[in-house]
A and B are shown apart, each in its own frame.
Chain A
């Protein structure tokens, strides 16, 4: 394949971020094109059919399914309240009686002569989608949602836990190589998004939760600590729905991994500013990466647009001089520049013959790695 390189993660100090805020089902859009919104503003609402409860009336009354209509006090479409009697009978002047009550509020959706069951549908559940970032509504998707646009610093992580949150950026370490331990977190982390270095320890996560931090952004995490924290093993990398009190974003990978200098620099620059973060990760089919968005009111979207329109949307692929990061052992995390791209497949340590790239690392070493094991760093 001509272009099989792993696209690098985005790390931009100034860019236009567009977020499509979409309902899971059709509903009503509450905003108009051109409107300015705040992160908490609701942009669209929908109602999903409520939960349903099934009452087996025939069994409860001990009658045949095709007889239940004779004993029902309600018909399809009727409203019922929790505890209300919906069917019953009395015999021998009330000496024997049997009743069915509604287990919930709702309406009678279905009465079955075949199974003797009655389905009660609870009132619809409201779903709301907020704007998540401040900005302008640049597009309305009728019945579905809206697209919000803002100028921002934008950083993608590689893996995250937890959903959307907002908080002020606060550096908890002094360098991207430092480990974020519990000692480095104190009560002023309340409501903040903490920036760590190469690793966050299990105790560090616990302390951050204790003091009320909204999120942690860090280079790496030990998988065993993640398991200890969550209490279970993650099978497939589809995350973002965990019931956790803070959002964790890992920027490099598992194990101790220095946060990339570029990422650390950007986050440091915007310390004290409000960020919208999401840990949602989906690696399969339609990649979703965790993200840190720092909206920038100091920038003009139109100016950025004219700059960005000059840039190409897709990576140009690898060439001599391209800055790359190695993303697999034995040089995992190392950054360097491409010095050669041999055409013929080369023999690697495993005994496989694969297409490789020769990279000069920052420390001057020259190493050869499979092309599949590098990602391009956009400059």
Chain B
């Protein structure tokens, strides 16, 4: 799956200029979100590094009465102009001044978009765990929200499938199925199903719904015959030409192309915006994935990224070079907050709150956030509840992510004797938390947590890293901008990503395994310059040692026999770790992390953890009475 879907250019992006990276000094990037349009200005410094200069934002103007996205873009850029004195917008209002000279104009302008609810797709494949899963990965990788996955063997009767296709109104359909040269019957059957259902596009009533066909090449003519008249069909190479190979690149490129041609061109003002940019506009989540991939590639590491938004939570991973992206369409912090309650269960949200609460009251609070999604927590109790939701939302989104991050299924493998001990059946995820190097949290709830330690603990609790893992947050949500920028200027994108976008929170050291609460869990020696710190942790404890962002320390940690830090049960590790705003966190709570059933004990443990890591002060929580009246 290691491929990049941005090498091709679509007809709509014929304005793409050949860019000489050496000559780029000033860069403008925008992200047209569903509610806010954000602009950032990047400049090359004297030492050759690119740095963020300023950020501006304005409401997105995709809906009435404005109905022209470029108005929001101009407003956000105007804020950048006001803050810097750098002139960017053309006098006639028809675009961006290029190239740059002194404090006028930019050398490069790129943009992403998720306005109008992003790209919503339906995916079809013959076998659920094979072509359908590959097709889903291709759609998600392109930045789409997958509304449903239909396969011949998904257990639903034909009439139910037809009904489902009719009710959903996708922006696009991806149809896959069959290996090249194999049977064509099933994939044609799916085409007939789509034709019978006649789904109507979500936007616009007149244009034909685009369908990407990426199945058995022998079925192309038949599929064209069945779908050609009713739909705008685009044929690309098979996503699974043979069982053992997944080839999502061509399908992904076609999705990007059709996204620009059909979907975006029906959104008001995009025709103009398409003329202004120097590279194809990408769907926002697709762009975020690109920057995560750049980071993993540059250092040869395994990275997990997460972006809990108001409506959806995206998770990205690059593991041993394999890139996976998932969008959990209805797990979010505002619009979808009650869906997190529904999926996780109210008790699972409350389990993260160290105060006594009334379930009915928490329910009402979450509902009130749902109906007034732009409000923010003012009281500590409200904040604790929202952070509980975030833990559960990210946890569930990661569970869904792991279902996609697994080997190709349905493939017969030839195994040697040694393989028997290390089987990858494709049934389980290939993400091994012990070998994840970095976890990056984005989204307001992580980036704007009042204390960075709170963000650190939320990410640890949700993802449950094992061994030694660095944790960071995206400071001001500019990963989309940097992702699209990485397609034309990787250096600028990575410079800004590492120096301005990421805030390092620290490193967490957490053994895998279980013991009884209070049993000896690990002994740790920390060598910090001249200083030497010895610590003993019992099971269930969490400790924090301060270590600044630019500092490093050597850690020797010996877990007890039942626990493993990566070198085997009971075996000591020695490693150099980097600090961060929160420092080093020693997490002897075990993996998987479980909270006691007993309410009193659970609350006491949470208080201990929150206090020891500096997320909240014990005294404040112990004596807490919510104000009001």
Q: Which residues of A contact B (CB under 8 A)?
A: 1-4, 6, 24-26, 49, 51-54, 65, 109-110, 112, 114-115, 117, 119, 121, 144, 158-159, 222-224, 233-237, 253-255, 281, 283-286, 313, 327-332, 348-352, 354, 369-370, 372-373, 375
From A115, A331, A351, A352, give the contact of B376 (CB < 8 A): A352
Residue of B whose beta carbon sits closest to that of A26: B205
Indicate if the CB atoms of A350 and B380 lie closer than 8 Å: yes
B192 at the interface (CB under 8 A from A): yes
16 residue pairs bridging A and B, Cβ less than 8 Å apart: A25-B205, A51-B159, A51-B163, A52-B196, A115-B189, A223-B364, A233-B338, A235-B339, A235-B342, A236-B330, A283-B370, A329-B382, A329-B626, A330-B627, A332-B368, A351-B450
Known contacts A54-B158, A222-B360, A285-B117: does B368 contact A236 (CB below 8 Å)?
A: no
Indicate if the CB atoms of A236 and B192 lie closer than 8 Å: no
From A4, A158, A236, A350, give the contact of B338 (CB < 8 A): A236
From A121, A234, A254, A348, give the contact of B364 (CB < 8 A): A254
Indicate if the CB atoms of B371 and A112 lie closer than 8 Å: no
Indicate if the CB atoms of B188 and A350 lie closer than 8 Å: no
A25–B185 Cα distance when bound, in Å, is 32
A25–B65 Cα distance when bound, in Å, is 23
B365 at the interface (CB under 8 A from A): yes
Q: Which residues of B contact A (CB under 8 A)?
A: 34, 36, 57-59, 63, 65, 116-117, 158-159, 162-163, 184-186, 188-189, 192-193, 195-198, 200, 205-206, 219, 222, 226, 311, 330, 335-336, 338-339, 341-343, 359-361, 363-368, 370-383, 448, 450-451, 626-629
Known contacts A52-B196, A115-B185: does B374 contact A372 (CB below 8 Å)?
A: yes
A13–B629 Cα distance when bound, in Å, is 31
Indicate if the CB atoms of B371 and A159 lie closer than 8 Å: yes
From A2, A3, A158, give the contact of B371 (CB < 8 A): A158
A254–B368 Cα distance when bound, in Å, is 6
For the complex formed, measure the closest distance between the CB of B34 and the CB atoms of chain A, giving whole angstroms: 6
From A1, A3, A284, A370, give the contact of B335 (CB < 8 A): A284
Indicate if the CB atoms of B341 and A233 lie closer than 8 Å: yes
Q: Using Cβ atoms and an 8 Å threshold, which residues of chain A touch B162?
A: 51-52, 54
Residue of B whose beta carbon sits closest to that of A373: B375
Known contacts A53-B159, A330-B626: does B364 contact A117 (CB below 8 Å)?
A: no
Q: Using Cβ atoms and an 8 Å threshold, which residues of chain B touch A372?
A: 374-376
Indicate if the CB atoms of A235 and B375 lie closer than 8 Å: no
Q: Using Cβ atoms and an 8 Å threshold, which residues of chain A touch B366?
A: 223
Indicate if the CB atoms of A350 and B339 lie closer than 8 Å: no
Indicate if the CB atoms of A348 and B378 lie closer than 8 Å: yes
Known contacts A54-B196, A253-B367, A286-B63: does B188 contact A328 (CB below 8 Å)?
A: no
A373–B375 Cα distance when bound, in Å, is 5
Indicate if the CB atoms of B116 and A285 lie closer than 8 Å: yes
For the complex formed, measure the closest distance between the CB of B482 and the CB atoms of chain A, giving whole angstroms: 22
For the complex formed, measure the closest distance between the CB of B357 and the CB atoms of chain A, giving whole angstroms: 12
For the complex formed, measure the closest distance between the CB of A67 and the CB atoms of chain B, giving whole angstroms: 14
A286–B63 Cα distance when bound, in Å, is 7
Residue of A whose beta carbon sits closest to that of B157: A54
For the complex formed, measure the closest distance between the CB of A340 and the CB atoms of chain B, giving whole angstroms: 17
Indicate if the CB atoms of A328 and B373 lie closer than 8 Å: no
Indicate if the CB atoms of A254 and B222 lie closer than 8 Å: no
For the complex formed, measure the closest distance between the CB of A49 and the CB atoms of chain B, giving whole angstroms: 6
Indicate if the CB atoms of B363 and A223 lie closer than 8 Å: yes
Q: Using Cβ atoms and an 8 Å threshold, which residues of chain B touch A49?
A: 198
Q: Using Cβ atoms and an 8 Å threshold, which residues of chain A touch B626?
A: 329-330
For the complex formed, measure the closest distance between the CB of B254 and the CB atoms of chain A, giving whole angstroms: 23
A110–B360 Cα distance when bound, in Å, is 54
A65–B360 Cα distance when bound, in Å, is 59
For the complex formed, measure the closest distance between the CB of B93 and the CB atoms of chain A, giving whole angstroms: 19
Indicate if the CB atoms of B336 and A235 lie closer than 8 Å: yes
Most chain B C-beta atoms within 10 Å of own C-beta, residue among A26, A286, A328:
A328
Indicate if the CB atoms of B379 and A284 lie closer than 8 Å: no
For the complex formed, measure the closest distance between the CB of B283 and the CB atoms of chain A, giving whole angstroms: 15
Known contacts A236-B339, A283-B370: does B375 contact A112 (CB below 8 Å)?
A: no
A280–B603 Cα distance when bound, in Å, is 40
Indicate if the CB atoms of A117 and B189 lie closer than 8 Å: yes
For the complex formed, measure the closest distance between the CB of A356 and the CB atoms of chain B, giving whole angstroms: 9
Contacts A119-B192, A159-B367 supplied; 8 other A-B pairs, CB < 8 Å: A51-B159, A144-B205, A158-B372, A235-B330, A235-B338, A236-B338, A285-B34, A372-B376
Indicate if the CB atoms of B117 and A223 lie closer than 8 Å: no
Q: Using Cβ atoms and an 8 Å threshold, which residues of chain A touch B627?
A: 330, 349
For the complex formed, measure the closest distance between the CB of B160 and the CB atoms of chain A, giving whole angstroms: 11
Indicate if the CB atoms of B371 and A351 lie closer than 8 Å: no
Q: Using Cβ atoms and an 8 Å threshold, which residues of chain B touch A24?
A: 200
Residue of B whose beta carbon sits closest to that of A113: B222
Q: Using Cβ atoms and an 8 Å threshold, which residues of chain B touch A313?
A: 65
Residue of B whose beta carbon sits closest to that of A282: B335
For the complex formed, measure the closest distance between the CB of B198 and the CB atoms of chain A, giving whole angstroms: 6
A3–B163 Cα distance when bound, in Å, is 43
Q: Using Cβ atoms and an 8 Å threshold, which residues of chain A touch B185?
A: 65, 114-115
A115–B183 Cα distance when bound, in Å, is 11
Residue of A whose beta carbon sits closest to that of B331: A235
For the complex formed, measure the closest distance between the CB of B127 and the CB atoms of chain A, giving whole angstroms: 16
From A52, A255, A286, give the contact of B197 (CB < 8 A): A52
Indicate if the CB atoms of B335 and A350 lie closer than 8 Å: no
Indicate if the CB atoms of A373 and B378 lie closer than 8 Å: yes
Q: Using Cβ atoms and an 8 Å threshold, which residues of chain B touch A369?
A: 378
The 7 closest A-B pairs by CB, nearest first: A330-B628, A351-B450, A235-B339, A254-B367, A52-B196, A255-B364, A254-B364
For the complex formed, measure the closest distance between the CB of B413 and the CB atoms of chain A, giving whole angstroms: 32
For the complex formed, measure the closest distance between the CB of A61 and the CB atoms of chain B, giving whole angstroms: 16
From B57, B116, B186, B365, give the contact of A329 (CB < 8 A): B365
Indicate if the CB atoms of B378 and A329 lie closer than 8 Å: yes
Most chain B C-beta atoms within 10 Å of own C-beta, residue among A223, A234, A373:
A223
